[in-house]
Amino acid sequence: MSSDYYGTSAAYARKEQGYREKALKLYPWVCGRCSREFVYSNLRELTVHHVDHDHTNNPEDGSNWELLCLFCHDHEHEKYTEHDNQMGSVIKAGDNDHVAATFNPFADLKAMMEKGKK
């Protein structure tokens, strides 16, 4: 599993258990974005989002937790990924960002410097 923030990997699931249980006790089982309500039978679709995106920041009062459904949680993280990678420009759903990830801003610079040497 490459995507870890739902607690899909074994190690993460173990780590998640503590705060997920606490968050579910602390907050009503409702998605903080779309207000979808959850019951035991579909509770696994309700996830714990970390407001500051730091999974290791788990204050007992729950101030860093937000309960979000899978869809809204996904959306919440996409927002930040777009912002970080593209500084505001929009990545269409389904696009991958390999171009952005492998773009080397120094490639041109290196070429210029090598030209200058000759």
Q: Closest separation between CB of residue 87 and Zn ion, Å?
A: 21
Query: Given the rule CB under 5 A, which of 8-16, 43-51, 91-99, 109-117 is the region that contacts Zn ion?
Result: 43-51
Tokens 């993460």, located at residue = 12
DSSP assignment of 48-67:
EEETTS-TT---TT-TTEEE
On whether the CB atoms of residues 45 and 69 are closer than 8 A, the answer is: yes
Give the Cα separation of 29 and 40 in Å (integer). Answer: 9
Q: Which residue, 23 or 69, has its beta carbon nearer to Zn ion?
A: 69
- Site size for Zn ion, by CB under 5 A? 6
Q: Which of 49, 58, 64, 67 binds Zn ion (CB under 5 A)?
A: 49
Q: Which residues bind Zn ion (CB under 5 A)?
A: 31, 33-34, 49, 69, 72
